[in-house]
Structure 1
Amino acid sequence: MEKYLSVKDLENAAIELLPKTARDYYKSGATEEQTLTENRKAFQRLRIRPKCLIGVDSTDLRTTVLGHEVSMPVGISPTAMQRMAHPDGELANVKAAQAEKTIYTLSTIATSSIEEVAEAAPHGIKWFQLYIYNDRDVTKKLVLRAEKAGYKAIALTVDTPLFGIRRADVRNRFTLPPHLKLANFEGELANKINRSDSGSGLTEYVKNLFDKSLTWNEIKWLRSITKLPIIAKGILRGDDAIKAIEAGCSAILVSNHGARQLDGVPATIEVLPEIVEAVKDYNVEVYLDGGVTTGTDVYKALALGAKMVFVGRPALWGLAVGGQAGVQRMLSILRNELEHTFQIAGTPTVADITKDMVRHESAYSKL
């Protein structure tokens, strides 16, 4: 694993290894993929402003998220169907997160079950990403299973009344390989995704199962059936962040679903300051995912107010290349890059990173 020196190295290797259908599913975005590109480019338009001669003998990346200490402010976002990348799938991913003492988020649409993942990493901090199904009983059972299995939060995806147009999946007539199933379900809910009648099997799967009529009242309903904190995942507006909080959410995950929902929306790092400002008078935490591939990306997000940063595709690349060891390599790369950034920027702890540590490139173009 030592030959992989960057997340980009892992990505390049994974792209070579993965079968075309899985590769295209993991890496593609919605329609023209403008936002997919911007998620990364927006980080490059931010400049770090290091402080000199601070006397930083050591750094401490630890932080606390929803009351749980993590070794660094980098966790793993939910991504679906991970056994397409590696036979161990979600189990390898959660073991890596546990070993690195950070958060793993399990997708509803996983190829390993809630219980299997909990058993694989009993001491890890695990969150469960939730879609609300038309059948509320299906949804309730998922939440209660996650709570019983020791998950620490529910990350409710709020940006998906249906899945965005992902042309690569349509062209490939994407389906889950027949030896795999959606492990959190039985019968039709588990196996319907193994076939495609007209295009993407995933799009066909969710079309009649996800509830398109959802409102903020559903968060109040969710709040009534679980004691776990609820994270609103997919927020891109300050007013939506406030609505989520007022409905009962404990945290906001600024996300555009890996640029896979609606093309032309902002990069997540671009809207982060608006959302941090909107919720400043509330006792909530704000997180970010989307486009993060380096330790400096993480640093920039922290400077703009994120409490925690999550990565999805980088974990898949590591998984494809080396299973648990590959995911741990990815996390160790980000940890090493982040430690160097802390040291050279003159901010020894997370608390030392203030918003004046970063400026947009436009501030310098006026000089």
Structure 2
Amino acid sequence: MNGTGNPVVSDQLRRARETLPAEVFAYIESGSFGEESAREAAGAWARYRFLPHALRDVRRVDTSVRLLGSTFASPIAAAPSAFHALAHPRGEAASRAAFGKDGSLFIASVRSSLPLARIAEAGAGDWWYQTFAMRDPGPALDLVAQARDLGATAVVLTGDTPVVGPKYRVAGRRIRVPDEQFFSNVPAGPGADQRDFPPLEESPAATVAYIRRLRAACGLPVLVKGVLRPDDALRVLDAGAAGVIVSNHGGRQCGRAVSTAEALPAVAAAVGGRAPVLVDGGIRSGVDAAAALALGASMVLIGRPVLWALAAGGEDAVLGLLAALRGELEQMLALLGVPDLAALTPGLLRSQGRAEDLLPAEAGRWAAPPMPT
């Protein structure tokens, strides 16, 4: 839960801490239970070490990626995160505009501060919409269809939150936000209470059958977020998911969940190129991104750093964040002796200080999945 690794990220974290109200900063930074998973996220990527090639022609390197039929200038995308207006008055409009200008993917949260129509019109390029399996599915499915009509090209189903993990740093509760932000995308009748509002409450009864229900409601590809196990990855793909997102929800739900840096290799190996595998959690630099991509991720998502950047300087600061991360990734490609993302493979990595170190002789069984089209 720190900005080490890239000076722009570290500076924006510092400025966010100085700028935001203490309770808002605590909400953004909080993890669940003892916060072990949230604390370990960034450091887990730092356990990997690279085995770069020498004397390769890298005068030109390419960070573009093609995913689900769209091409993005960078594999660094916005993870869905709630209530961007807590960090900046323009909220998701500022962050969506920045990712659009960068040519990168923005994923809007069901708990966005702004109505979906305002988010959709705020920037260019592809965007996706994230939802949960709700106790009252009707409004949630209506919103998925609305997102499609507004131009969303895929839906992300967060599947790791049957109940909400307690955030002891903020007294175990969700932070209260202005009603117009909390209910921005769900019509709320008189007396609606943020503490108990079924259209925004996750269902503990949800199963993989909800994937088909989402697909039927919108006709868009559905990716499942919150996958940490290879068997779950295969199960959701068999149920119709178009991809998986390796995520432990930023350490905000299951206590002591394994880090995504540790979970990613086995999930990517199990999927074996059948569908795209994305990852979030603790990505704080282009070096982290390079490691994740080499381990089999098609794209990496950033969450808290976007909110830090918004607090530090709105849209311009988010653009600065994306430029810094992509610049580092370009440098890493050159230094690793690879010209593009497809050339990032597990054979470029070792895991430091672990019995199951990935050795070059083993790299063949973890061949990088082909880039989906």
Give the TM-score of the pair, scaled to structure 2.
Answer: 0.90
Looking at structure 1, the residues matched to 200 and 72 of structure 2 have their Cα atoms a distance apart, in angstroms, of 38
2:87 is aligned with what amino acid? A
Structure 2 residue 233 is matched with structure 1 residue 232: no
CA distance 1:206–1:236, shift in 2 (3 Å): farther
Looking at structure 2, the residues matched to 8 and 182 of structure 1 have their Cα atoms a distance apart, in angstroms, of 33
Q: Which residue of the partner structure matches residue 253 of structure 2? A: 261
Any gaps of 5 or more consecutive residues in structure 1?
Answer: 194-200
1:53 is aligned with what amino acid? L
Q: CA offset at residue 131 of structure 1?
A: 1.3
CA distance 1:292–1:50, shift in 2 (3 Å): same
Q: Residue 45 of structure 1 contacts residue 360 of structure 1 at CA under 8 Å; is this kept in 2? A: yes
CA distance 1:113–1:178, shift in 2 (3 Å): closer
CA distance 1:184–1:267, shift in 2 (3 Å): same
Q: Residue 158 of structure 2 contacts residue 226 of structure 2 at CA under 8 Å; is this kept in 1? A: yes
2:244 is aligned with what amino acid? I
CA distance 1:190–1:21, shift in 2 (3 Å): farther
Structure 2 residue 243 is matched with structure 1 residue 251: yes
Matches within 5 A, 1:145-184: 145-170=146-171, 174-177=175-178, 180-184=181-185
Q: Which residue of the partner structure matches residue 287 of structure 1? A: 278
Q: CA offset at residue 241 of structure 1?
A: 0.5
Which contiguous aligned blocks of 4+ residues in structure 1 show a shift greater than 4 angstroms?
Answer: 188-191, 204-208, 363-367
Q: Percent identity?
A: 33
CA distance 1:365–1:117, shift in 2 (3 Å): closer
CA distance 1:43–1:230, shift in 2 (3 Å): same
Q: CA offset at residue 210 of structure 1?
A: 2.1
CA distance 1:344–1:190, shift in 2 (3 Å): farther
> Secondary structure at 2:66's aligned position in 1?
strand
Q: Residue 60 of structure 1 contacts residue 349 of structure 1 at CA under 8 Å; is this kept in 2? A: yes
Q: Residue 183 of structure 1 contacts residue 190 of structure 1 at CA under 8 Å; is this kept in 2? A: no
> Secondary structure at 1:96's aligned position in 2?
helix
Looking at structure 2, the residues matched to 88 and 208 of structure 1 have their Cα atoms a distance apart, in angstroms, of 22
> Secondary structure at 1:253's aligned position in 2?
strand
Looking at structure 2, the residues matched to 189 and 247 of structure 1 have their Cα atoms a distance apart, in angstroms, of 39
**Which residue among 25, 45, 48 is the counterpart of 1:46?**
48
Matches within 5 A, 1:339-354: 339-354=330-345
Q: Residue 114 of structure 1 contacts residue 184 of structure 1 at CA under 8 Å; is this kept in 2? A: yes
Looking at structure 2, the residues matched to 314 and 67 of structure 1 have their Cα atoms a distance apart, in angstroms, of 27
- Per-residue Cα deviation, 1:172-208 (whole angstroms, up to 9, x for no partner): 8731146643311122599633xxxxxxx5xx55798
Q: CA offset at residue 283 of structure 1?
A: 2.6
Q: Residue 167 of structure 2 contacts residue 173 of structure 2 at CA under 8 Å; is this kept in 1? A: no
Matches within 5 A, 1:94-133: 94-121=96-123, 123-133=124-134
Q: Which residue of the partner structure matches residue 198 of structure 1? A: none
Q: Which residue of the partner structure matches residue 65 of structure 2? A: 63
Q: CA offset at residue 148 of structure 1?
A: 0.3
**Which residue among 353, 356, 362 is the counterpart of 2:347?**
356
Q: Residue 111 of structure 2 contacts residue 182 of structure 2 at CA under 8 Å; is this kept in 1? A: no
CA distance 1:261–1:31, shift in 2 (3 Å): same
Q: Which residue of the partner structure matches residue 196 of structure 1? A: none
> Secondary structure at 2:202's aligned position in 1?
coil
Q: Which residue of the partner structure matches residue 82 of structure 2? A: 80
Moved more, 175-184 or 45-54: 175-184
Q: CA offset at residue 80 of structure 1?
A: 0.3
Q: CA offset at residue 55 of structure 1?
A: 2.3
Q: CA offset at residue 287 of structure 1?
A: 0.3
Looking at structure 2, the residues matched to 189 and 313 of structure 1 have their Cα atoms a distance apart, in angstroms, of 33
1:131 is aligned with what amino acid? F
Q: Which residue of the partner structure matches residue 29 of structure 2? A: 27
Looking at structure 1, the residues matched to 211 and 355 of structure 2 have their Cα atoms a distance apart, in angstroms, of 43
Q: Which residue of the partner structure matches residue 201 of structure 2? A: 209
Q: Residue 299 of structure 1 contacts residue 341 of structure 1 at CA under 8 Å; is this kept in 2? A: yes
CA distance 1:173–1:60, shift in 2 (3 Å): closer
**Which residue among 262, 277, 282 is the counterpart of 2:269?**
277
CA distance 1:190–1:67, shift in 2 (3 Å): farther
Q: CA offset at residue 219 of structure 1?
A: 1.1
- Per-residue Cα deviation, 1:304-358 (whole angstroms, up to 9, x for no partner): 0000000000110111111111111111110111111111111121111111111
> Secondary structure at 2:88's aligned position in 1?
coil
Looking at structure 2, the residues matched to 332 and 321 of structure 1 have their Cα atoms a distance apart, in angstroms, of 15
- Per-residue Cα deviation, 1:67-123 (whole angstroms, up to 9, x for no partner): 1100011000011011010000000000000000010000001111111111112x3
Q: Which residue of the partner structure matches residue 220 of structure 1? A: 212
Q: CA offset at residue 132 of structure 1?
A: 2.1
Q: Which residue of the partner structure matches residue 14 of structure 1? A: 16
Q: Which residue of the partner structure matches residue 368 of structure 2? A: none
Looking at structure 2, the residues matched to 312 and 164 of structure 1 have their Cα atoms a distance apart, in angstroms, of 18
CA distance 1:126–1:191, shift in 2 (3 Å): farther
Q: CA offset at residue 152 of structure 1?
A: 0.7
Q: Which residue of the partner structure matches residue 367 of structure 2? A: none
Structure 2 residue 291 is matched with structure 1 residue 300: yes
Q: Residue 220 of structure 1 contacts residue 248 of structure 1 at CA under 8 Å; is this kept in 2? A: yes
Looking at structure 2, the residues matched to 164 and 189 of structure 1 have their Cα atoms a distance apart, in angstroms, of 28
> Secondary structure at 1:129's aligned position in 2?
strand
Looking at structure 1, the residues matched to 100 and 191 of structure 2 have their Cα atoms a distance apart, in angstroms, of 27
Looking at structure 1, the residues matched to 142 and 21 of structure 2 have their Cα atoms a distance apart, in angstroms, of 34
